Amino acid sequence: MTEQQTPRRARHLMDPNAPRRPAPATGMSLTQVQKWVMSVLAATTILHLSAGLAIAAIYADADRTDARIGLNVIAAAFGVIAVLVARGIHGARLLTPWLLLGLVPGIVGLWLTFR
């Protein structure tokens, strides 16, 4: 007698009797992605405010040197706050040399204001 063999399934179809192992997860978790999105949104929003203050300093009256310097100092402070917020969302150490990057809007604003 001949045994009746079950028909072989095509490789692209799932076999419920022999499931394949799932592929290992290689991407970021949902929480990590949320942290990156939040930190980028917060930092860019605050940096836009900082850039706006630096631009306001450029268009301030030329005889108001105190206002021009003050707006650029505030722009630098908001740049540092943007770096602090981004690092804080990730739970990283806040006091770091990366804070110097936050001074860039104020320094560039001073240079553009008094050139």
pLDDT digits (tens, 9 = 90+) for 40-66: 999 999 999 999 999 999 999 999 999
Q: Is the pTM of this model over 0.85?
A: no
> Which pLDDT band, with edges at 50, 70 and 90, does 9 fall under?
low
Residue 104's pLDDT is 96
Q: Which domain holds residue 57?
A: 41-113
Q: Examine residue 81 and state whether it is found in any structural domain, yes or no.
A: yes
For the chain, report the end-to-end CA distance as a whole number of angstroms: 99
Residue 98 CA: distances (Å) to CA of 8, 78, 83, 103: 60, 14, 7, 10
What is the number of domains present in the chain? Answer: 1
Q: Examine residue 4 and state whether it is found in any structural domain, yes or no.
A: no
Q: Examine residue 12 and state whether it is found in any structural domain, yes or no.
A: no
Q: Examine residue 28 and state whether it is found in any structural domain, yes or no.
A: no
Residue 18's pLDDT is 75
Stretch 98-115: mean pLDDT: 95
Q: Examine residue 6 and state whether it is found in any structural domain, yes or no.
A: no
Q: Examine residue 5 and state whether it is found in any structural domain, yes or no.
A: no
Residue 86's pLDDT is 96
Q: Examine residue 45 and state whether it is found in any structural domain, yes or no.
A: yes
Q: Examine residue 72 and state whether it is found in any structural domain, yes or no.
A: yes
